[in-house]
Structure 1
Amino acid sequence: MIKKTLTILAISCMIYSCSTKTENNPFFTEFQTENGVPPFDKIKLEHYEPAFLKGIEEQNHRIEAIIENTEIPNFENTIVALDNSAPILNRVSAIFFNMTDAETTDQLTELSIKLAPVLSEHEDNISLNKDLFNRVNAVYQQKDSCNLTSEQKRLLEKTYKGFIRSGANLSTDKQARLRDINKELSTLGITFSNNILNENNAFQLFVDKEEDLAGLPDWLRQSAAEEAKAAGQANKWLFTLHNASRLPFLQYSENRPLREKIYKAYINRGNNNDSYDNKEIIRKIVSLRLEKANLLGFDCYANFVLDETMAKNADNVMNLLNNLWSYALPKAKAEAIDLQKIMDKEGKGEKLEAWDWWYYTEKLRKEKYDLSEEETKPYFRLENVREGAFTVANKLYGITLNKLEGIPTYHSDVEVFEVKDTDGSQLGIFYVDYFPRPGKSGGAWMSNYREQQGSTRPLVCNVASFTKPIGNTPSLLTMDEVETLFHEFGHGLHGLLTKCEYKGTSGTNVVRDFVELPSQINEHWATEPEVLKMYAKHYQTGKIIPDEIIEKIQKQKTFNQGFMTTELLAAAILDMNLHTLTDVNNMDILSYEKEAMDKLGLIPEIAPRYRTTYFNHIIGGYAAGYYSYLWANVLDNDAFEAFKEHGIFDKSTADLFRYNVLEKGDSEDPMVLYKSFRGTEPSLEPLLKNRGMK
């Protein structure tokens, strides 16, 4: 997943005086550090708000200069000037919004809620500034006679459409209503996400009887014991809703009631009628989004969002999702039958339930392939897996990553690497932060501390919540975590290798259904036999993973894909259903969700990967966009066929991908970029084949 910090292209009436107690605020100037890295050791809570306000003041002056420029509007004095108008805001936003996800505190959350309407107003003030839009429009109208490069045309198009899509052509009264909607949405989204984080942290499953740990591997028991001790409950075991705790518990625990308890706690987040309840919040969000879309001339929010994507509209998205559903659901049903057969053999007379799926899937994996996570985990030491991802990038693109010491970070878990190209020139700085903690949102993502622009190289981060080290045992990853590490590093490569002239087009600033191509194609290398032998080494003996285990991994690649594809599709369709609504008045969110899933025929043993009340993706930029993982999955499977045809480390193929995708950012239409790499539009067949559906 990629998380983008707030893009600020707005003007504000706010007046700010520099006479504060933070004259030495590190955000006020370029960071005075080697490579311009963030001085996390000097950044304090009290620096953020003055920096935001100072940044607004700075951007006000710069935009005023654009408007008052007596020269005829052109690309440089209007579009480029606007792209470069917010240095302070760019610096503070990049740090602040990463911190609210990776290392938040009550004070940061309180400040984010306070700042949200201020920043929303700032964004609206520029988007709705008539004089500024007139200059942008003047440049846009002469675009065909300006002799612009493809990247310049792309930035001009994005800037112009950004104003239109933000209400520049609306009447005054409609603009006023749009401002109110944007302000309310800005705070509702923060509250929604914060409720999920708080509920994640609030749930604690303490086990005080060793017999209730039956089936759990030693590493999970040790981890749970350490968690309990840290929580002040020595001689007990603590399990949480973090993936690294919840998923292995569901996978291995023989205690069915406890599996049910932790599963239900997870799928009912934001739905407990308590202080963290999200039902009314998400209803308001969907309702306000619909009203916003209507104001801007669209029948529903999905078509508003999709108008600027590869998919173009909701019908095209739903055609893909429904097509895949026709393959995925039958496969999931067949998998459920296989799991029920295992349960029947046990003679307990139990019926397969959702909280049984992971447990019996692991049994079935062992039965069918003689393979278990316990067999593979010792070969997936986190540091080795990370080095494997780095080595793949080196063999493909010639780049190197070397660890840097003494770089300031916001937490001791964070490590920093310098990334260099084949000629020794620096491509950027790369931060990794891999372990869960109470202040960190769940899941995994990539973001930037600084965007690439011209000769300015980026500062990129990967954040995740992988299995933590336990005592003398290092972090040993599951297969899913291995693929997640490669996935996020793929996003990182997109941000690090970009070579664009403008911030607005660089790196991952691409349409949502194209942004997952670099990340998802990178997953393919993780389990290639040649690559496994490069990094999968036993953490105790150092021996390379045996051929027989590699063979088992290859054979089980399509295993459980019915479940995985179905839960992903269910969430994507739920997202689309919510955002194609044309009437949200008096809607009961849970009833609507149930009706939508019943209509699909979703079996009760599977829930959508994200239910409505904890669907953080549709708050954090994937609204009417969760389908993009599957849209891009068509691209990445088709793209990897090119590598398989010529060799997975074929230099010419890698160069084509680097030049036409990774370096290009959003400098051209994504389908043009894809066809420049592949030579043709993508085929659906490789996806169906790789998911075992054809």
Structure 2
Amino acid sequence: MVDVRAVRRLEHFDSPAGRQTRDISKRHLSTATETVQLSEAYHAPVLYGSLDFDKDKHVLQKIFDSGPFWREFLQRKPAARQQEGLLGIQYLKSPEGFFAFVQATKQKCDALVAKTLAATSLDEYRAMARDMDRLSDLLCRVIDVSDFMRVFHQDAAIIKAATQAYEHMFEYMNVLNTTAGLNEQLKKALRMPEVRSVWSEEEIISAETLVKDFAHSAIDQSPQKRQKFVDLSNEISRVGTEFVSQMEPAKQYVAVTRETLLGIEPDGTKQFRSWGKAMIPIHSQAARKVMKLVEDEEPRREIYMAGRTSSKKQIQRLERLLLKRAELAKLTGFSSYSQMTLSHKSALAKTPSGVNTFLTSLNASNRGQLQPQIDELLAQKRNSVPSASVLQPWDVALYQNTLKAQLGRNAMSNHSLEGSNAFFSIGTIISGLSRLFQRLYGIRLAPQPTAPGEVWNPGVRRLDVISETEGHIAVIYCDLFARMGKQPNPAHFTLRCSREITAEEIEAAQLGDKVNDGMPTGITISSITGKRALHQLPVIALICDFDEPSPGSHTPTLLSHHSVTTLFHEMGHAVHSILGRTSLQTIAGTRCAADFAELPSILMEYFALDPSVLKLYARHWDTDKPISDHQATALQQQQHRDQTEKDALWHNETQILMSLLDQSLHSELAVEAVEHGGGRFDSTEVYHRIWNSHGSLPEPRDTSWHGFFGHLYGYGGTYYSYLFDRAIARQVWRAVFRDGLDGAALDRAAGEKLKENVLRYGGGRDPWRCLEDLMGGGKGVLAEGGDQAMLEVGQWGVGAGAEGGL
């Protein structure tokens, strides 16, 4: 009934519960009382500067770029906004509130379950799709928020309470997933012509998806096996969360002597120097500089090895996760977890063999293009080390950098691009993204002071999304700066999805309960009835790990263009959640086919590199002067060369290897380990076999990078979707936005076409049909799906994308 998994950057989708939970209901509002009910239930937010675009633009920049301005901005809260719960949720004003949140939610769930099980009338069956979506929403609102807070909140008491709430509600959800009566009632509703004839496309898709969810929950098994399913699902959630949240390398630092740091400007490693040595954190800007600039091979080798070696505990966590997933697949009648996941979550590719064929074919093509570059880098290495016979993986960054310098690319940076990062402060980028969204979709970002208790960290900024036709339509919480203990992977989380609010909920609010638990609501047109209705608004969290300016510094954080592209990628997921405002939360936004969810975010990477868009957001942080035409062209050309000539091919290979590893670790190998291996599964051996069989360079023994591959939990058999969606995004960029030629990247008609044919549906329409409507020209090849459509996408090829991951 629910498909719990997170959409994060790489993990970039919605949240764990968001993908697992399915459907529940909502009744039509009576037309006679609709206006009164809506006006009494809906309280529009007070939006700072929401009617003044120019002021918003200035404030958007300053709240991210100036610490003093941000602190002063927080004091502008309206007096009426007193202490609030986390995200505005009425229950979450203290750790104890998580227990109250669980209890209140379970009471509502129990009532809906009882109603569904007792349904006998035609009206009750007609209401069932929306009732089930409401049930799904109730489960998700606790699971998603609790799961997020236990990872990102800093208060130990909150973390403990959120963890308990998550585990309790997750187990309750799995009990519902194995409740045979719910499955039988929903299947009965689907079989009734009198029901299907009045259901909307959204309602039919939600109901059919829920039936598939039940089938993957051992619903037809004995009570003992259904209980086993619950136990395994709970264990997978627990171990998977540990795997993601407790990542740790075998060692944190590499000691490097001062003499080896020749070639690196002193400020680059100054903070790490002591007593003639530098203790370089293995995942840091300083480490990356060593890899690119230090000629001495030994420190590069040490940093490479340390950066790709997980702790033994982390590998043990991963192997427990893989074995439990294999048990779950075996229990539910599948040959592997990958097969189980693809048959359940993917509406485009259907089988592991099909995915592996796609990946190996793509790798063969990429490998052929990459080999001449490997030969070129090896020749470059021999200029320094005449006896060298092998290019090592820790050589690549150094000799790529050397070649670029020889070809005059760094000279271009020293002239045309000198000081260009001054145009890429976080604030100027966010402000530019708002201008881009205004051009394409008629929406913009309005800064909003947070209330006391609303956010999980004082540095979180709130942006309200304002539509030029519908007003307030979403909330984005931006947690963009690194801090001690914070998970480093950039990510997108949907903390609450779009959903039409029921008449019962509005009535409860009139009796004293807060509608939507106190989280944002808005009046918009129902995608089911076509009438005005109250909706809960999408609430999104964006996570990045950009360095925060040092205290007292007047210069804001300035990003590389790679980091800019990462931020654009994450905002692509956010836009999908914002514009996919369906009336059923089960299919809202990024809750769509697993191998379709990355399309909007990867497409945004093309916008980040487009010259017309670059001029829109690249503005000097201090003077607001736009980047010059000469600099914009030079930067775009450099990025294009880097992506298409060198970096893209290496990046493609890495993504292919990661996707093959994801498939292999979730294949029959793990099931065989459960059945015949005594519960022993050597994931490190699988990792080395994949890398050394399909990679261009040998992976050293004793590394265990797969322990850092957190998306093994979030994707579990569907990581290939990043490459697959890159192929689709490349074609969309060509066919809809005309490769950005003549300012087409800012074409409102193209933006509306993407919004109306893809984004607004979320998961409420077959993705092949969406693609056919968007760019198929009525030929029907894509709409039919299947092998022919897969072949069509394969022929498009994979374009250059950012290295930011998902």
Common fold by TM > 0.5: yes
Structure 2: gaps of 5 or more residues = 1-8, 24-40, 48-83, 501-534, 783-791
Q: 1:293 aligns with which of 323, 329, 332?
A: 329
Of residues 67-76 and 510-519 in structure 1, the stretch that sits farther from structure 2 once superposed is 67-76
Shift of 1:281: 2.8
Q: Which residue of 1 aligns with 2:230?
A: 179
Q: 1:551 aligns with which of 637, 640, 644?
A: 637
Q: Verify the 8 A CA contact 1:641 1:686 in the aligned structure 2.
A: no
Q: Which residue of 1 aligns with 2:755?
A: 658
**Same amino acid, percent of matched pairs:** 20
Shift of 1:686: 4.5
Equivalence map 1:278-677=2 (5 Å): 278-308=314-344, 309=346, 310-347=348-385, 349=387, 352-368=391-407, 370-371=409-410, 375=418, 376-407=420-451, 408-423=454-469, 425-454=471-500, 455-470=535-550, 471-539=553-621, 542=625, 544-545=627-628, 546=631, 547-558=633-644, 559-581=646-668, 582-584=671-673, 585=677, 586-604=680-698, 611-620=705-714, 622-642=715-735, 643-644=737-738, 647-677=744-774
Q: 1:266 aligns with which of 293, 302, 307?
A: 307
1:259-303 Cα offsets, whole Å, 9 max, x none, are 33332222112xx33xxx133332232222222222222211111
Distance 1:626 1:609 in 2: 21
Distance 2:361 2:243 in 1: 32
Q: Which residue of 2 aligns with 1:687?
A: 797
Structure 1: gaps of 5 or more residues = 12-28
Shift of 1:315: 1.8
- Which secondary structure does the structure 2 equivalent of 1:434 belong to? strand
Q: Which residue of 2 aligns with 1:6?
A: 17
Q: Normalized against structure 2, the TM-score is what?
A: 0.74
Distance 1:391 1:220 in 2: 34
Matching residue's letter, 2:145: I
Matching residue's letter, 2:212: K
Q: 1:190 to 1:688 in 2, by over 3 A?
A: closer
Q: Verify the 8 A CA contact 1:332 1:561 in the aligned structure 2.
A: no
Matching residue's letter, 1:663: R
1:620-648 Cα offsets, whole Å, 9 max, x none, are 2x000110101111111111112116822
Q: 1:110 to 1:38 in 2, by over 3 A?
A: closer
- Which secondary structure does the structure 1 equivalent of 2:542 belong to? strand
Shift of 1:176: 2.7
Q: Verify the 8 A CA contact 1:570 1:609 in the aligned structure 2.
A: no
Distance 2:107 2:369 in 1: 57
Distance 2:543 2:202 in 1: 30
Shift of 1:214: 3.4
Q: Verify the 8 A CA contact 1:40 1:410 in the aligned structure 2.
A: no
Q: Verify the 8 A CA contact 1:133 1:163 in the aligned structure 2.
A: yes
Q: Normalized against structure 1, the TM-score is what?
A: 0.86
- Which secondary structure does the structure 2 equivalent of 1:410 belong to? coil
Q: Verify the 8 A CA contact 2:684 2:704 in the aligned structure 1.
A: no
Q: Which residue of 2 aligns with 1:19?
A: none
Of residues 563-572 and 36-45 in structure 1, the stretch that sits farther from structure 2 once superposed is 36-45
Shift of 1:530: 1.5
Matching residue's letter, 2:394: W
Matched, 1:215 2:276: no
- Which secondary structure does the structure 1 equivalent of 2:643 belong to? coil
Distance 1:406 1:114 in 2: 26
1:443-497 Cα offsets, whole Å, 9 max, x none, are 1111123211132221222111124334343212122211111100000000111
- Which secondary structure does the structure 1 equivalent of 2:127 belong to? helix
Q: Verify the 8 A CA contact 2:692 2:698 in the aligned structure 1.
A: no
Of residues 157-166 and 342-351 in structure 1, the stretch that sits farther from structure 2 once superposed is 342-351
Q: Verify the 8 A CA contact 1:452 1:500 in the aligned structure 2.
A: yes
Of residues 57-66 and 558-567 in structure 1, the stretch that sits farther from structure 2 once superposed is 57-66
- Which secondary structure does the structure 1 equivalent of 2:745 belong to? coil
Shift of 1:39: 3.6
Q: What CA RMSD, in Å, does the superposition of the two structures yield over aligned residues?
A: 3.5
Distance 2:153 2:227 in 1: 35
Q: Which residue of 2 aligns with 1:38?
A: 87
Distance 2:768 2:704 in 1: 29
- Which secondary structure does the structure 2 equivalent of 1:477 belong to? coil
Q: Which residue of 1 aligns with 2:213?
A: 162
Shift of 1:34: 6.3
- Which secondary structure does the structure 2 equivalent of 1:442 belong to? coil
Q: Verify the 8 A CA contact 1:381 1:476 in the aligned structure 2.
A: yes
Of residues 103-112 and 448-457 in structure 1, the stretch that sits farther from structure 2 once superposed is 103-112
Distance 2:253 2:129 in 1: 52
1:325-359 Cα offsets, whole Å, 9 max, x none, are 01222333332222222222234755532223223
Q: 1:94 to 1:114 in 2, by over 3 A?
A: closer
Shift of 1:6: 2.2
Q: Verify the 8 A CA contact 2:177 2:214 in the aligned structure 1.
A: yes
Q: 1:460 to 1:184 in 2, by over 3 A?
A: closer
Q: Verify the 8 A CA contact 1:54 1:88 in the aligned structure 2.
A: no
Matching residue's letter, 2:130: V
Matching residue's letter, 1:687: G
1:399-419 Cα offsets, whole Å, 9 max, x none, are 111212244422232211121
Q: 1:219 to 1:403 in 2, by over 3 A?
A: farther
Equivalence map 1:10-89=2 (5 Å): 38-39=87-88, 43-72=93-122, 74-85=124-135, 89=139
> Relative contact order (C-alpha < 8 Å, sep 6+): which is higher?
2
Q: Which residue of 2 aligns with 1:17?
A: none
Q: 1:610 to 1:575 in 2, by over 3 A?
A: farther
Q: Verify the 8 A CA contact 1:442 1:464 in the aligned structure 2.
A: yes
Q: Verify the 8 A CA contact 1:449 1:460 in the aligned structure 2.
A: yes
Shift of 1:239: 4.1
Distance 1:278 1:30 in 2: 47
Shift of 1:111: 5.2
Distance 1:126 1:458 in 2: 25
Count of aligned residue pairs for this structure pair? 659
Shift of 1:114: 4.8
Shift of 1:205: 4.7
Shift of 1:575: 0.6
Q: Which residue of 2 aligns with 1:203?
A: 252
Of residues 370-379 and 44-53 in structure 1, the stretch that sits farther from structure 2 once superposed is 370-379
Matching residue's letter, 1:257: E
